[in-house]
Structure 1
């Protein structure tokens, strides 16, 4: 019955989605190809050496130190804001998401501006927590809004005090949100380049870019990227094991009643102190540093033709990458909702996995391929846009899939019954209703491109500067005054993303 209702043209969409899935496998194919090409002896020499061991130790220390601190901080903030009578909870909720508008490497720039001696592991952990905690805070806060407080009331009626109710009832239900956010942070820590270079902390991403800049297409950088991909795969596998197969959904009729917020009493002052300190550290310091450098530079730092050019090129690349990523993701998004199946799920997984790969690996794959087999495409806009599509394809998928799922399939069938072709019917009905989701996907991808650094540094054509790359070149020359306008414009362009994320989080929770 369900098969008969499928649009007749979905086979063509499967072919298109299959081609996109094959394209998304290019980075993994590149790793396998290079490994075979250089031979086992070279692989063993380049991988099993002291330098790789040092980078692995740094990576493990960074992940194991940052994730617990970030998780504990996010849980505490989300609980205070969503479940207690904290004054101005709505304002704090927005402020806890706003640090995402500040690129991670701008956080480093800000802190180095007031503490030039910051470097090493604990500086990396400190800045990483401030830059990335919203990734865990957001899903936890959204989950707390959706939880039915009747479950907590039932536990309390059995004699459990508030702390035991939290540990035994609430925290287990936050597990998927915590793990999902922690995975995002862990993958960002693997892929981040600018943050760690500025504070002189070596990671695989910094080592790969350094090796690439010193020797284009070197076997050493290729092998390091292979190890980095293995680290990503291990993180994804560990996430799957920790998630398990437990169900957390609420089954039954009726609406969830409003949450009764807890009184803080004598703990009001320290409770207010936590979000205040986080806001000062994660937002106050970057804003203060930017304003300080801008005041030192005066009007002259804005009277720069390159600033306008970089701003324009950033907008063009962001819009082009956003629109093309949305169009590339559309066939798979439609298939995953309207014609699900085993093949479709496999293709969808290929669309999503590439988002877990560091930008430096994707860029290195495209550099190697263009240099070896497609030299005319080396350092062209086409290759740069291809990298953006690969990196941000999952972002485009998320918004589109959600919007298509909310468009009634009956409208497509009605259009086809009136003589419209399947493709025309989908375009006139579902895709028009999914337009807001498509716009959100374009915005999400565009904001990611605005702040993208490593792939743009490695792939941008000569003479092309985005806000991120120009900011980076100026900070590399220790010209922090001239770099400030570029940082400020990136923050301004990124603010809509944070507003969009917060709005979607509250809309999902029914607020």
Structure 2
């Protein structure tokens, strides 16, 4: 029997070992696409690798990617924090309406944003068009966690800073903004990974990135060595991005026992700035929602009732729901051990495992799909083009989405509650389940919703891995628009938005519930 003084440490270390084993297995599976790239690299030889990587085209793609990230992220962070502050901390009229409108753009697939804007401005192309559409498509990923954090902050901390003579701006930058760090980094990492892996959005506006170049290479020559070398460079970009995020995020942990002050936050009067403050969310809503709505309604009006063919639209809708729910739940369950370890047991090895969970989210779906095709054809032929293989691809692609919501929720659950439960005789697993996981339930639900939305809009992996007869809304929409049949594609785009809207409402409600409102 373990002595009483060491019982807690022993039981806690036992739970760590179990979760670490599960997280290690998930990390190994996540490395399959990377192993595929390494295998191809070895197979083609070092001379060919040098010729394919160290050339002008790769340098051009690298410059485009760096410019896209370096320009989009600061704009997106600034816009999201400004919107969250106005809606959550000022007397902005109709704050609940604005809050919902700022999350709703998540329901519109990124490539539908591109289609919509090209429909009203056909000349849109290049870097600044890519930045513009990326910002309006992805800013909710940062707005949502920042707004949730603002709701949770204890107002007495800001009052104490103000009582020491700090003005409103200094209180914000010295007291509030540091507490938003984790939320900003979590959302910013998600946006950065999307920028690395996005395909449809950038193809439509003719902006070349590694993702678009990889897909082009695969379409021109199946299992092309050049596309695999580009994938290797993209993986390196992701690893560098994860390293930067880890360095900037640091080891700070923000949690409080109890709900803190019950006094509501004192909202600030806007005074003469009311009209400009109203214009900001209004303009963002028009750009992110108004233009897509106008374009889709125009397509529907031109097509009339005849384009609503239930044998195709209805079938794709049902299959999309099944895949989204199954993939969302399984991705959340798969990400849970790593999310808990990243907060409760940080270490160098844990950082490596966490990087394995994240890097695969930066790969284009076509790379993950082709790696799974190669593995199943050579080693597990019965799994080739099956439902199981498609779900595995979804879990790998959307692990970062599941991780972000879970990690933030676990970080806000005090570890003292787990210790108290174990001191009362609960096993480590039951202690985590009864305390941390119950408190993290809103984050888990948000993770499922985020993954489900990603699956609803996923394109390339579904095209390659879906069994015969499986056709989602995204793949059907893409095939019709590739044939320049925008009218017939409109119902599928509308149904994607309809399917994603309840998930955005879930994200919004869970965000407020997490904040104790």
Q: Deviations over 1:382-435 (max 9, x none)?
A: 322221121233545677786997997999999999xxxx99x89998999799
Q: What does 1:341-420 align with in structure 2 at a 5 Å threshold?
A: 345=350, 349=354, 352-354=357-359, 356-360=361-365, 361-374=367-380, 377-396=383-402
Q: Does structure 1 conserve the Cα–Cα contact (< 8 Å) formed by 2:376 and 2:384?
A: yes
How far has the Cα of 1:350 moved from its partner? 6.2
- Separation in 2, partners of 1:427, 1:175: 26
Q: What does 1:39-438 align with in structure 2 at a 5 Å threshold?
A: 39-245=45-251, 255=261, 257-326=263-332, 328-329=334-335, 332=337, 336=341, 345=350, 349=354, 352-354=357-359, 356-360=361-365, 361-374=367-380, 377-396=383-402
- Separation in 2, partners of 1:341, 1:247: 11
Q: Does structure 2 conserve the Cα–Cα contact (< 8 Å) formed by 1:208 and 1:224?
A: yes
How far has the Cα of 1:20 moved from its partner? 2.9
How far has the Cα of 1:248 moved from its partner? 5.6
The two structures have a TM-score, normalised by structure 2, of 0.85
**Aligned to 2:122, what secondary structure does the other structure show?**
coil
**Aligned to 1:305, what secondary structure does the other structure show?**
coil
Q: Does structure 1 conserve the Cα–Cα contact (< 8 Å) formed by 2:23 and 2:338?
A: no
The two structures have a TM-score, normalised by structure 1, of 0.86
Of 299-308 and 408-417, deviating more is 408-417
- 1:102–1:341 CA distance, 2 compared to 1 (3 A): closer
Gaps of 5+ in 1: none
Q: Does structure 2 conserve the Cα–Cα contact (< 8 Å) formed by 1:325 and 1:442?
A: yes
Of 454-463 and 50-59, deviating more is 454-463
- Separation in 2, partners of 1:430, 1:446: 26
**Aligned to 2:312, what secondary structure does the other structure show?**
helix
**Aligned to 1:510, what secondary structure does the other structure show?**
coil
Root-mean-square deviation (CA, aligned residues, Å) is 3.7
Q: Does structure 2 conserve the Cα–Cα contact (< 8 Å) formed by 1:179 and 1:239?
A: yes
How far has the Cα of 1:337 moved from its partner? 10
- Determine which of 472, 481, 484 is the counterpart of 1:466: 472
Q: Deviations over 1:251-290 (max 9, x none)?
A: 9995263221111111111111111111111111111111
Of 482-491 and 441-450, deviating more is 441-450
How far has the Cα of 1:371 moved from its partner? 4.7
How far has the Cα of 1:61 moved from its partner? 1.4
- Separation in 2, partners of 1:399, 1:172: 19
Gaps of 5+ in 2: 1-6
- Determine which of 19, 35, 50 is the counterpart of 2:41: 35
How far has the Cα of 1:333 moved from its partner? 6.6
